[in-house]
Amino acid sequence: MLKDSKFSSHLLHLSQLQIINHKTLDEYRDRLKTYEDYLWFGKPEKISAIECARRGWACQASDSIECMNCHAQILAQLPSVLKIDEYTESIENTARSLVDSHHRYCVWKFMIIPESIIQLTDIYSNETINKFIQEAEEFLSQINQIDIVGQLKTLFHIEPTDFDLLSSTHLNDSRLLSAFKIVVFCWKLKNSLLTCDKCCREIHIDINHLVFDPILSHRAWCPVLKNNQWKKRIEQIENILHEKSRHKLEEIKTTHDQTEQILPDIISTQNLFHELISSKEYYRSCVQSTFVDNTSTSDDMDHSTKNSMST
Ligand SMILES: [Zn+2]
Ligand SMILES: [Zn+2]
């Protein structure tokens, strides 16, 4: 084994970690991808794939993980859940070793990928929704037909008109709506590979016709599914859209109120118009009767003329 001083010079240090932030996140996602369900199976939350990966560990074999920086290793074969005490103790020990097993100078002994990267962030603004709409547009540019299946088909109520309130670019496009329902649940599409930003599940898709369940396609331990965070996200989006709709309706109402101020004039004009109509009808009836009278006069005249001519 290398001496501490020599060994530590090979290790990633805290200052480096702060500088190479993007690289650090990419490496975190690379580690996360190694946790195949059949390798890291049935692990509780304390030692889940995410908890291990965010502390520098990658899965190397069945129940076996290794630090990608100091190369320490942990074997986590849990006893049966029926032996509850042993099982709980084993989980506690493994959870502790996620920190303790790192080399004393390994950065992952002190560092952890922050919660904000792992969890779904709350959505409070139209700007975030507009960002998702842009992502959905990019998503659509790569794909022909999308069919959403599963709970989102009925649970997520967005009307195409809701988008009209937020984005002036288009709308009434059901394809955009479907793409939106995919991107808001952390799916990114690149070269026919659909990847979850949170659990790093990768799915090869048919870009001509995507039939997709944006929720159940996540890995069982994905933060999107944890504590029904996906339902919370739906609620937040619906609230923003409905709030926006309400503002829009208030605007319309204000315009309507202004309209109401001039409405009496219109109504009085309408009444006048009706009066005019009745007057006109009265006038017409008068004219008609006059016309009838005239006709009879004319007939009389004709008759008299005829008589005079015949005479
Ligand atoms: Zn380490
Ligand atoms: Zn996921």
Q: Write the DSSP string, 92-135.
A: HHHHHHHHHTS-TT-GGGT----HHHHSPPP---HHHHHHHHHH
Q: How far is the CA of 134 from the centre of ligand 2 (A)?
A: 21
Range of the domain at 213: 126-242
| Listed residues: CB within 5 A of ion ligand 2 | 196, 198-199, 218, 222, 224
Same-domain status, 114 and 158 = no
66 and 155 both lie in a single domain: no
282 is a domain residue: no
- Please report which helix (H) or strand (E) contains residue 43, including its range: none
The residue among 205, 221, 242 that closes a domain is 242
- Over residues 5-28, mean pLDDT: 64
Residue 273 lies in a domain: no
Confidence of residue 43 (pLDDT cuts 50, 70, 90): very high
Taking residues 160-188, report their average pLDDT. Answer: 76
Ligand 2 centroid–CA 256 distance in Å is 46
- Reported as a pLDDT band with limits 50, 70 and 90, residue 126 is confident
Per-residue pLDDT at 22: 82
What ligand has the least distance to the C-alpha of 97?
A: 1
In the predicted model, is pLDDT for residue 244 greater than 60?
yes
Domain end, chosen from 99, 118, 137, is at 118
Q: Tell me how many domains the chain contains.
A: 2
Residues 142 and 34 in one domain: no
Domain boundary residue, one of 242, 270, 299:
242
> What's the 209 CA to ligand 2 centre distance in angstroms?
21
CA of 182 to the centre of ligand 1 (A): 36
The answer to whether residues 134 and 198 touch, using CB atoms and an 8 Å cutoff, is no
Q: Which residues touch 255 (CB under 8 Å, ≥6 apart)?
A: none
Same domain, yes or no: 85 and 144: no
Dist. CA 58 → ligand 2 center (Å): 18
- Ligand with smallest separation from the Cα of 202: 2
Above 90 in pLDDT, residue 306?
no
* 257 part of a folded domain: no
The residue with tokens 């190369």 is: 71
**Predicted confidence (pLDDT) at residue 268 exceeds the cutoff of 50:** no
Does residue 97 belong to any structural domain of this protein? Answer: yes
**Model confidence at 176, in pLDDT bands (50, 70, 90)?**
confident
Please report, as a single letter, which amino acid is at residue 180.
F
In a domain, 261, yes or no: no
Q: Supply the pLDDT for residue 247.
A: 64
The answer to whether position 186 is within a domain reads yes
Q: Which CATH number belongs to the domain containing residue 69 in this structure? A: 1.10.1170
In this structure, are residues 198 and 120 in contact, taking their beta carbons and an 8 Å threshold? yes
189 in the same domain as 110:
no
Q: Check whether residue 95 and residue 139 sit in a common domain.
A: no
User: How confident is the model at residue 234, as a pLDDT?
Assistant: 93
* Interface ipTM above 0.90: yes
